[in-house]
Amino acid sequence: MKILLTVDGSSFGWKALDYLVKHKNTFGTDCGLTVLHVDEGRAARVLARVKTQLRRARMGYTEAVIKGNPGKEIAKFARRGKFDLVIMGSHGYSAFEQLMLGSVASKIIALCKVPVLLVR
């Protein structure tokens, strides 16, 4: 199973990472995990924390940093990478929060052909 975990440094993003680590056996120990950050100038700090947590959990992964509109670029990255699942927080660090979902999460759900697991 190929999993794309998106992180942005928000509390909901950290909850998504925590969820993945806590349920790693559900996804399989040999899942192809990619951690994606849409660069807003915080990529190094955010990815350093991810690296620490995934090493402790003994989970292998690759990382990617992209630029652009987060919703569009994440959906495009998931499609091109042929991922089986996208895991992300329901609200982002700087996203405009709508009543139930953040705007980035809403856009990804609308544009992404890959199943999306939102973590609150």
Predicted confidence (pLDDT) per residue in 2-23, tens digit: 999 999 888 889 999 999 999 9
The structural domains of the chain, with segments of one domain joined by +, span: 2-119
Identify which of 34, 113, 40, 117 has the alpha carbon closest to the alpha carbon of residue 75: 113
Confidence of residue 41 (pLDDT cuts 50, 70, 90): confident
| Entry pTM | 0.88
Winning range, highest mean pLDDT, from 53-62, 96-105, 106-115: 53-62
Say if residues 17 and 5 touch (Cβ distance below 8 Å).
Answer: yes
Confidence of residue 102 (pLDDT cuts 50, 70, 90): low
Say if residues 82 and 75 touch (Cβ distance below 8 Å).
Answer: no
Query: What is the predicted pLDDT for the residue at 14?
Result: 94
Beta strands in the chain (DSSP E): 2-6, 32-38, 62-66, 85-89, 116-119
Mean pLDDT computed over 65-76: 92
Q: How many CB atoms lie within 10 A of CB 96?
A: 10
Pick the CATH number of 2-119 from 3.40.50.620, 3.30.300.30, 3.40.50.2300, 3.40.50.300: 3.40.50.620
Residue 99 has pLDDT above 60, yes or no: no
